[in-house]
Amino acid sequence: MEFLFESLWSAILMILHLDRDLFEALGTTLRVSLTSTGIASLIALPLGFVIARYDFPGKRGVQSLLRTALALPTVVVGLFVYAFIARNAPLGDMRLLFTPAAMVIGQVLLIVPLITALTHAALQENVKLVHEEATLLGASPVAASWKVLSESRHAVVTALMTGFGRVVSEVGVALVLGGNIRGLTRTVTTAITLETSQGHFSSAFALGIVLLALVLMINILIQTLGGRREAV
């Protein structure tokens, strides 16, 4: 038990001392997670919208495929991407393995289904109504789609944050594709794994506290940005 209290203390110390390893890992985590969430949202938001808005043959199949993909183990996603970026694979020439870019690819694959499914669920209720209304009122198709997304922005933001939460906390993709290289691909979660494997439970837990504090700050930031508009 007491190691939990120790960890809280060492988390505070690590931050106060501007611990270099910690900030490198935090930086890598933020860069990689924000990039992958950004790219994934560019794919998943339109995809979720299209699936919610339009009926097409095979729609049910796509839906159940998406829901199945939610169960993808992170290490499996890592190995799947490895099959494409390993040396003799189609993308082998790009030498992506053990780089942050490889982690981004894996994480994008990991959360595109998640954000798509959540966006789809969020829009399902009134997407057709709002979209048709906006189009009738003379909005361009893109503007009308944007209207739909912003009508359900709470749910959409939740979808994005869920995706971000998934990548920021995952360790399988980061280990298999990143390799936990210090100062290059070591994220907070792979650092946690490393510390745990060395028996340094309290510093592992401390890293977890720091990670959560960071995500909390991001959430508060988003809430203030979104809340301002609510008040108008």
Partner 1 sequence: MGIRTRVALWLAVVAIACWTGCGEDRAAPRPVKMTTTTSTANTGLLDYLMGEFLRDTGIRVDFIATGTGQAITHGRNGDVDVILVHAPPAEARFVADGFGVKRVPVMWNDFVILGPPGDPAGIRASASAADALTQIATSRAPFVSRGDDSGTHKKELRLWQTAGIEPHGAWYVEAGQGMGACLTMANDKLAYVLCDRGTYLAMRELLDLEVAYAGDPELVNPYAIIAVNPEKYPDLNHAGTQRLIAWFTSPRGQKLIADFRVNGEQLFHLFEP
Count of CA atoms in the C-beta half-sphere (13 A) of 89: 15
Task: Report 101-160 residues binding partner 1 (CB under 8 A).
Answer: 101, 104, 143, 146-147, 150
Structure token pair of residue 99: 């780089």
Which of 22, 26, 53, 100: binder of partner 1 (CB under 8 A)?
100
Which of 39, 91, 155, 209: binder of partner 1 (CB under 8 A)?
39
Which of 182, 221, 223, 227: binder of partner 1 (CB under 8 A)?
182
User: What Rg do the C-alpha atoms of the chain give, in angstroms?
Assistant: 20
Q: How far apart are CA 53 and CA 10, in angstroms?
A: 50
Which of 29, 180, 187, 203: binder of partner 1 (CB under 8 A)?
180
**Candidate segments 26-34, 59-67, 69-77, 208-216, binder of partner 1 by CB under 8 A:** 26-34
**Contact status: 32 vs partner 1 (CB under 8 A):** yes
DSSP 163-229: HHHHHHH--HHIIIII---TTTT--HHHHHHHHHHTT-HHHHHHHHHHHHHHHHHHHHHHHHHHHHH
Contact 215, 30 (CB under 8 A): no
Contact 173, 74 (CB under 8 A): yes
**Contact status: 38 vs partner 1 (CB under 8 A):** yes
Which of 64, 68, 126, 198: binder of partner 1 (CB under 8 A)?
198
- Give whichever of 196 and 219 is closer to partner 1, judged by the CB atom: 196
- Minimum distance from CB of 80 to partner 1 (Å)? 15
**Contact status: 199 vs partner 1 (CB under 8 A):** yes
Q: Coil, helix or strand for 140?
A: coil
Which amino acid makes up residue 214?
A: L
**Contact status: 34 vs partner 1 (CB under 8 A):** yes
Residue 99: DSSP 8-state: S
Q: How far apart are CA 24 and CA 211, in angstroms?
A: 13
- Minimum distance from CB of 199 to partner 1 (Å)? 4
- Minimum distance from CB of 35 to partner 1 (Å)? 4
- Give whichever of 129 and 184 is closer to partner 1, judged by the CB atom: 184
Binding site for partner 1 (CB under 8 A): 31-32, 34-35, 37-39, 41-42, 86-88, 95, 97-98, 100-101, 104, 143, 146-147, 150, 179-182, 184, 194, 196-200, 229
